[in-house]
Structure 1
Amino acid sequence: MKQPGRSLRWDAAGSRWWWSNSDAAALHAWSETEQATMTCKLPDRAGLIAHCSSGRLLVGLPKRLCLAGPADPQRGAIQLKVQALVAVDAAEPRTGISDGCVDRHGFLVFGTANASEDRRPIGSFYQYSGQHGLRRLALPAVAEASGICFSGDGARMFFADAGGDAILCCDYDAGRASVSRIGIFAQLEKGATARGSVVDQEGCLWNAQAGQVVQYDKGGKVVRRIAIDCATPAFGGARLDQLMAAGPAGLVPLPVKASGHAEALFDDQHLHN
């Protein structure tokens, strides 16, 4: 069965949607002005992608963060050249990068998952930047890090364990890579698993779950459910008022009236490379 795309991101500079494959070593990009989806080959599967201030892509392969591109949409299917930045959990072969996004300060925050059959909670959360390198966040160990996103002011972080039963939140200090007041934002229904999340201009959180996208208000109460199977919803478009999902059959616009925040760019100007 074909899996939904993950790590869906809007590229404002290129007016293009980007997402990765759960089951293939490739990235995809699509724009309303282009007739076909651009496919960019990678050396391995990507658990996350993020856009950089330079125009390049930051890609989270299973055991390393890399810079890639920029890609030329006129070339069709291409092999992206990647440059390794930092190894992640090098001494732990069971884990791989599973989810992440850029915080409001231009730092990447991401997590790992246990890819072995036992699914024990050995995954961690990290922050990465050119200024400070790789720093572990003092968050609970997880089977699979998911749902990482931030409030509009960047002071509140949301995250989840795809093997757990809740969406969690905490206060977040980007400069110190510190977290505090960790608690439950929303309890999931029995059998539900939290995937990717995004926060809108009103402070509502939209989370992808198996077979649906669920909107929660600021207090964690369910507002609505939209039937679609996807891994990550994302806001984009010229006015950031288009909520999109990458389902098994491709991109699907969701019928909602809401606006998102501009996608934060990873600050790659301070990288020593």
Structure 2
Amino acid sequence: MNFEPLLDERFALGEGPHWDAARNELLWVDIVGRRAFAYGPDDAAPRSWSFEETVSAIVPRSNGHYLVAAGRGVYDLDPADGQLTAVAEPAAEPPENRTNEARVDPRGRFWMASMQQNIGPDGENIPVRQSSGLLWCIDTDGSVRQVASGVGISNSLVWSPDETRMYFADTLQGVIWQYDWEADTGAARNRRVFAATEGYGNPDGSAMDEDGCLWNARWGAGCLIRYRPDGEIDRIVEVPARCPSSCVFGGPDRKTLYVTTAHAELTPSERGPLDGVLLMAETDVVGQACTAFKG
């Protein structure tokens, strides 16, 4: 697979890619840089919004605005003026946490997972010493419910094409979990290990394709692993960056794979020319369509 940079700009901690088919644009964030981005094929440069706190995700809303996960909560972002309006700020979220993984399920609910804040005020790395993260579901009616606790570093929220399984990873434990998922209610039950692969870095963000295979970015290993629905490895795809953080399928046919990467935890001497760059490659599979938040 031939990966190329989408842009020249580097991101300290690129994350949270989402393909918005309605606007024909790619969305992503730089968590350390505290910025969110939107970029379409015909744009001369990405649009961006800056935040006072770390921002971990940006997705489209059905009202024409965006929904962002920032700090410890979820906010409506008016793209015209950058105004933020609180949508959900879970009171049970510990003050030492920040949002990390966040995705929209196939029915339009927004799922947000947190972790111990590991980024200092100047972007410095803080070791994660506790599993204080929580997993939340923000439903389309605005209700908020806690789904899981005791999470170290939350990642890899994706759903199977038949809407019967949900996947969620804890990078600190090195495990991708699988749940039985009820699409009509959003209930996630019966958690068990889907994959606990050793020797290929740590599991970070994921994408799902229409064959039901999960593509997982392997932080620190410079590769993606495509897992079959039974959890077995189908293929390992090398990425020209040491720390791929997440991925998503996009483009008009959803056969373009976009991969966010990071350089925040690499010293200047360790950084290669594409560490921190947003990468893209054409694939031989069709990715699952992303969904806008319908709340």
Cα distance in 1 for residues equivalent to 2:76 and 2:109? 14
TM-score, length-scaled by structure 2: 0.81
Cα distance in 1 for residues equivalent to 2:199 and 2:260? 24
The answer on 1:42 being equivalent to 2:34 is no
Structure 1 regions of 5+ residues with no counterpart? 72-78, 269-273
1:88 pairs, out of 81, 87, 90, with 90
Is 255-264 or 88-97 further displaced after alignment?
88-97
The answer on 1:218 being equivalent to 2:229 is yes
Tell me the residue number matched to 1:136: 146
TM-score, length-scaled by structure 1: 0.88
Aligned-pair identity (%): 23
Cα distance in 2 for residues equivalent to 1:213 and 1:191? 9
Q: Deviations over 1:203-237 (max 9, x none)?
A: 00001112211111111111222222321100111
The answer on 1:241 being equivalent to 2:251 is no
Structure 2 regions of 5+ residues with no counterpart? 1-9, 119-126, 262-274
Deviation at 1:42, TM superposition (A): 2.4
2:231 is aligned with what amino acid? Answer: G
Cα distance in 1 for residues equivalent to 2:225 and 2:101? 18
Is 195-204 or 109-118 further displaced after alignment?
109-118
1:59 is aligned with what amino acid? Answer: V
Alignment of 1:55-94 (within 5 A): 55-71=64-80, 80-89=82-91, 92-94=94-96
Tell me the residue number matched to 1:148: 157
The higher relative CO (CA closer than 8 Å, separation ≥ 6) is in: 2
1:120 is aligned with what amino acid? Answer: Q
2:290 pairs, out of 236, 252, 263, with 263
Is 207-216 or 125-134 further displaced after alignment?
125-134
Paired residue secondary structure (2:245):
coil
Cα distance in 2 for residues equivalent to 1:191 and 1:227? 11
Contact residue 63 and residue 97 of structure 1 kept, 8 A: yes
Tell me the residue number matched to 1:158: 167
CA RMSD of aligned residues (A): 2.0
2:58 is aligned with what amino acid? Answer: I
